[in-house]
């Protein structure tokens, strides 16, 4: 159906959501600097992405044709993902110290840390806006009846949440054992990927691609959904995920982590490699 009687345009919605994200991440910066716990940044970012996605899915737009049920389903998927990840990070931050990734950046940036963190978080706000486009594209798919792609998208997100939850649980149990204090977690999913939680976080964004894509060409906007997994991969693998965390792990675990790097893929799930300890050279896959 075509929504009528609303003056909100896509451009207006996009700009409004972008401004809100910038303001939210500015507040996250202030909280991180004041508290000394930069982990709050990721919790706030997770909630912000969910809120932006819900707005992009549900705000009626002038002249846009859309399904009566798909926007609600997509908004629920975004909310469930956001709440699970956000509350997990909240619990971790409340009971722990500074996030090791941001502690690594704090050491690298020195006295310039506050300024550079602010700019870094504005980049994160921009990335969140681009991620919300994936949710937008899925929600605005105009096919009235739910299709196989919709159910596939739901299944993908459920699998991603379960996989990420399992990875988090396995890591938490490993850390609870005092005997593992100086060891590198390589049990369960952590023997298939050095960052299985990141892999499943990325995998969940394929849900919106499955819902949005229309291979007949009737809905060109569907291809915009690819922005979600593309930018999430960029963030996790090249920006705020793997690089600072692995730099920290190399400092704290040294050769043990280098051997782990040589055996186990950085991101993609796969079997570990049988490499004798003396030949481990810290190769990153």
Q: Is residue 5 part of a domain?
A: no
Q: Is 4 within the bounds of a domain?
A: no
Identify the pLDDT of residue 277.
53
C-alpha to C-alpha distance for 68 and 46, rounded to whole angstroms: 27
What's this model's pTM, rounded to 2 decimal places? 0.87
Q: What is the reported pLDDT for 6? A: 56
* Parts of the chain with a pLDDT under 70: 1-6, 97, 276-285
**What is the number of domains present in the chain?**
1
Compute the distance between CA of residue 248 and CA of residue 100 in angstroms, rounded to an integer. Answer: 6
CA angle 269, 274, 279 (to 5 degrees): 120
Q: What is the pLDDT of residue 228?
A: 93
With respect to residue 3, please indicate whether it lies within any of the assigned structural domains.
Answer: no
List beta partners, residue 130: none
Q: Which residue has the tokens 């049920």?
A: 69
Residues counted in the chain: 285
Residue-wise burial string across 36-70, b where 16 or more C-beta atoms lie within 10 A, e elsewhere: ebbbbbbbbbbbbbbbbbbbbbebebeebebbeeb
Within-domain flag for 238: yes
Q: Is residue 268 domain-resident?
A: yes
pLDDT at 283: 44
- For residue 216 the two structure tokens come to 């007949």
* 249 inside domain: yes
> Please, what is the end-to-end C-alpha distance for the chain in angstroms?
48
Which long-range contacts link 273-276 to residues 24+ away (Cβ below 8 Å)? none
Tokens (6 digits) for 125: 């706000």
- Owning domain of residue 224: 10-279
**Domain-embedded: residue 177:** yes
């Amino acid at each position: 159906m075509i929504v009528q009687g609303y003056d909100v345009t896509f451009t207006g919605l996009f700009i409004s959501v972008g401004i809100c994200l910038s303001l939210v991440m500015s507040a996250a910066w202030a909280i991180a600097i004041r508290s000394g716990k930069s982990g709050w940044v990721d919790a706030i970012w997770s909630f912000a992405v969910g809120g932006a996605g819900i707005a992009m899915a549900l705000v009626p737009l002038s002249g846009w044709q859309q399904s009566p049920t798909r926007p609600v389903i997509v908004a629920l998927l975004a909310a469930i993902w956001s709440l699970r990840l956000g509350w997990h990070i909240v619990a971790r931050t409340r009971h722990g110290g500074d996030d090791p990734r941001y502690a690594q950046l704090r050491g690298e940036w020195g006295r310039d840390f506050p300024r550079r963190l602010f700019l870094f978080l504005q980049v994160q706000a921009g990335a969140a806006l681009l991620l919300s486009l994936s949710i937008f594209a899925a929600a605005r798919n105009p096919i009235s009846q739910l299709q196989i792609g919709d159910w596939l998208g739901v299944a993908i997100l459920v699998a991603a949440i379960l996989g990420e939850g399992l990875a988090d649980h396995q890591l938490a149990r490993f850390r609870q054992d005092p005997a593992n204090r100086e060891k590198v977690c390589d049990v369960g999913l952590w023997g298939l990927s050095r960052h299985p939680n990141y892999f499943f976080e990325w995998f969940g964004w394929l849900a919106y691609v499955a819902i949005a894509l229309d291979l007949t060409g009737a809905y060109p906007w569907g291809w915009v959904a690819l922005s979600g997994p593309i930018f999430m991969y960029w963030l996790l693998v090249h920006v705020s995920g793997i690089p600072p965390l692995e730099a920290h792990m190399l400092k704290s675990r040294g050769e043990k982590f280098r051997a782990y790097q040589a055996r186990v893929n950085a991101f993609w799930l796969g079997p570990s490699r049988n490499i004798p300890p003396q030949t481990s050279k810290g190769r990153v896959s």
